[in-house]
Amino acid sequence: MTALAFAGAALRRITRDRTALFFLIILPVLVIVLVGLTVRGADRFRVGIVQPRGEAALARTLTTALDRVPALQISRYSGADAARTAVRRGEIVGAVLLPAGTAAQAATAPVQVSVVTSASSSDQQAVRAAIDSAIAPEGARLQAAAFAAQHAGVPFEAALARAEQLQRSQTPVSVHTDVVDSASSILPLGYSYSAPTMLVLFVFINATAGAAAIVQTRRLGIYDRASAAPVRTSGIVLGEVLAVLAVAVLQSLLIVAVGALGFGVSWGDPLAAAALVGVWALVGTGAGVLAGTVFRTSEQASAVGPALGIALGMLGGCMWPLEIVSPAMRTIGHAAPQAWAVDAWTALIARNGDLAAIGRQLAVLGAIAVVLIGLAVLRLARQVLQPART
């Protein structure tokens, strides 16, 4: 009963606090939107195209070909200067300055398609390879038409029409792609990436920043007064733990609901997702209560909590997939509990895994939660029993 009374009081304090509500739901949703929009298309090269001044018949054909390349995310620029500025600022990897003229002109005098990049990086070569293969069929048609016109003595336009017709039925020297695996180790880019990773990030940050409330309770001498009453220390400690846990679970459920209803995120197997939400809330609770017993002032808690949460979130793959960092950093990243939680969400969302599929991650997170909550309870119990030193 004491525990519930303490937890209830703590929860009332949080729900009346507009700042807490801002961090609980508004901020995570805003960041989900921001990160979701930004990482969407991160698996493609961003390329700008600039149409030429004057005759643009050939440029239109090449634009259609470039639009079809899956590896390229194409945006259009009104002029070469605007495209160059975008390249310099990293908004696009390269700008394709399309050539002026017609197909017939290109067939008689070879045409260069200029790709402007910011520096002599390997991206330049990768983008160039993608553009090269995209415009190659048009180049093949032009080569064949010019060759046929020369050797058969027919007009270029007639030869081009014949080449186009033949190209459609040509015996191919083709390129087949064989994907050797089906189990993705990266969350789908977009909101399905940002919603689970921000859940992991913000539940932890909110719990550790919420330690300020425990510090304040201690500094105000509320534990001393409560201890003077006929209540058990275990009740007070349990109450504090339950309050932090309830907030962590509430925030998780809100993010899951907003993700599912607002952004169409499929959170995977319901039982496994519920287990993961529960275990992660326990990790956050352990970290939050422990932080409340370690920090001396609420300012310290408010300062260190978010900083620690962001740093661990970065290490653990909340801000970018750990697949893109070096293997050494991936290993170091798994020192952060966030990495195990993100791995588990990846198994559920990207690979349609079930409870068994995330058993290892749940076990690791469970062990971390037990250690953190154990330490937190021991320290808090000691502080409740000792008079407050402010």
Partner 1 sequence: MSPALAIALKDLRQRFRDRSAIVLGFLAPLVIAVVMSAAFRGTEHFHTDVAVVDHDRGPVSAAFVAMLSSPGVSEVVHLKTVGGEAQARAQVKDGKLGAAFVVPAGFSDAAHSDAPTHITVLGSVNASIAREVCSSLAESFTAQLQADRLSIAAALASGADPTRLAELAAESARLRLPLTVTSGDLGGRQLTATSYYAPSMAIFFAFFGIGFGARSFWTERRSGTLDRIVASPAPLGATLLGKSLATLLFCLASLTTMAVVTSVAFGADWGPTPAAAAIIIAVGLATAALTALVSTVARTDRQVDAVASIVTFGLVILGGNFVFVSQAPGVLRRLALLTPNGWAMRGFIDLQSGLSWTAVILPVAAISAFTVVVVALAAARSRRVILS
Q: Which of residues 136-195 bind partner 1 (CB under 8 A)?
A: 136-149, 151-154, 158-159, 162-163, 166-167, 170-186
HSE, CB side, 13 Å, CA atoms: give it for residue 190: 11
30 touches partner 1 by CB under 8 A: yes
Between 19 and 234, name the residue whose CB sits nearer to partner 1: 19
**378 phi and psi, to 5 degrees?**
-60, -45
Footprint on residues 92-121 left by partner 1 (CB under 8 A): 97, 106-107, 110-121
Min dist. Cβ of residue 89 to partner 1 (A): 5
User: Could you tell me the two tokens for 120?
Assistant: 């002599």
User: Could you tell me the two tokens for 177?
Assistant: 């792609």
Q: Would you tell me the crossing angle of helices 211-219 and 2-16 to the nearest 10 degrees?
A: 110
Tell me how many residues contact partner 1 (CB under 8 A). Answer: 117
**From residue 291 to residue 310, what is the string marking binding to partner 1 with x (rule CB under 8 A)?**
-----xx-xx-xxx--x--x
Q: Which residues, 6 or more positions from 23, have their beta carbon under 8 angstroms from its beta carbon?
A: 202, 205, 206, 209
Q: Which of 56, 126, 231, 254 binds partner 1 (CB under 8 A)?
A: 126
Min dist. Cβ of residue 79 to partner 1 (A): 15
C-alpha to C-alpha distance for 387 and 374, rounded to whole angstroms? 22
Min dist. Cβ of residue 142 to partner 1 (A): 5
Footprint on residues 39-78 left by partner 1 (CB under 8 A): 42-46, 62, 69-71, 75
32 touches partner 1 by CB under 8 A: no
Min dist. Cβ of residue 144 to partner 1 (A): 4
C-alpha to C-alpha distance for 281 and 300, rounded to whole angstroms? 22
374 touches partner 1 by CB under 8 A: no
Footprint on residues 309-348 left by partner 1 (CB under 8 A): 310-311, 314-315, 319-320, 323-326, 329, 332
87 touches partner 1 by CB under 8 A: yes
Measured between alpha carbons, how far is residue 20 from residues 13, 58, 213, 288, 325 in Å? 9, 58, 11, 14, 34
Measured between alpha carbons, how far is residue 264 from residues 78, 187, 330 in Å? 35, 14, 29
Between 39 and 236, name the residue whose CB sits nearer to partner 1: 39
